[in-house]
Amino acid sequence: MTAIVQAVELTKQVLSGDQPLTILHHASFTVEAGESLAILGASGSGKSTLLGLLAGLDIPSSGSVLLNGIDLFALDEDGRAKLRGELAGFVFQSFQLLPALSALENVMLPLELRGVVNAASRAAESLRQVGLSARGHHLPKHLSGGEQQRVALARAFVTQPKILFADEPTGNLDAATGAQVIELMLELNRAQGTTLILVTHDEALANRCSRQLKLSAGKVV
């Protein structure tokens, strides 16, 4: 197995008033290609901060992250964005769909940004995989929360990313809908061999992943 994500002594400090506050302390671990890793911890333990650093959405105070062997923080912001575009998909708790675009157009967007010619047919297939073929022309406001999260999943997987970063993907869903989204995410993870890294406080979701990493007060325990 090859490590697709490597965190090396990741530390994040911010100023709280005039005092430094350490949110993450010297986190080091690797994630193998195709693995599913759940990042667990109490509220305020540094989970979302860690995910943001792994994806290069935030800059560490010290330490480094290697994505597919490339040092993220040796790149400038444009370089990090380009690498993310090539390697990663994202699913957030708040869906992050564009309200003026239909479900199909939301899924097409990352493909269009890459200049993919058959974006519409690929997006339609991605919606079919999440069971939403009949809802492609609906705007997000006409979809339930569970349907919106399935559109977000279809959008994240349509580019066939090597890594999917998910931040509390079931946080805004009821238990039954959340279970359905978990099932879909793990199924797509298996079918495409995508590495899954997700932040969750949902023990049921964490237990379905191949590995768990627990944070307590910013430290890997």
Of 111, 113, 195, 117, the C-alpha closest to 154 is 111
Of 25, 31, 28, the C-alpha closest to 7 is 28
Give the model's confidence band at 191: pLDDT under 50 very low, under 70 low, under 90 confident, else very high: confident
Asked if residue 10 has pLDDT above 90, the reply is: yes
| Residue 198 DSSP symbol | E
> 37-41, 62-66, 198-202: which range is least confident on average?
198-202
Yes or no: say if 165 and 197 are a contact pair by the CB < 8 Å rule: yes
> Using CA of residue 13, residue 202, residue 161, residue 119, what is the dihedral sign?
negative
Give the model's confidence band at 1: pLDDT under 50 very low, under 70 low, under 90 confident, else very high: low
Of 40, 203, 5, 167, the C-alpha closest to 185 is 167
Backbone angles phi, psi at 167, to 5 degrees: -110, 105
pLDDT attached to residue 182: 82
pLDDT attached to residue 71: 93
Digit-coded pLDDT (tens) for 20-44: 888 999 999 999 999 999 999 888 7
DSSP H or E stretch at residue 82: helix 77-87
Give the model's confidence band at 170: pLDDT under 50 very low, under 70 low, under 90 confident, else very high: confident
**Which pTM value belongs to this model?**
0.87
Which 3 state secondary structure label does DSSP give 15? strand
Task: List for the chain the helix, strand, coil content (%; round to 5).
Answer: 40, 30, 30
Yes or no: say if 217 and 45 are a contact pair by the CB < 8 Å rule: yes
What is the arithmetic mean of pLDDT over 191-218? 88
Yes or no: say if 200 and 207 are a contact pair by the CB < 8 Å rule: no
> Angle CA(165)–CA(10)–CA(198) in degrees, nearest 5?
20
Structure tokens, 69: 């062997």
For the chain, which residues make up each domain, given as ranges? 3-220
32, burial (CB in 10 Å: exposed 0-12, middle 13-18, buried 19+): middle
Whole-angstrom CA distances from 74 to 30, 83, 85, 129 are: 19, 12, 17, 37
pLDDT attached to residue 187: 83
3-220: what CATH class? Answer: alpha beta
Digit-coded pLDDT (tens) for 101-122: 999 999 999 898 888 889 999 9
Please give the mean pLDDT across all residues of the chain. Answer: 89
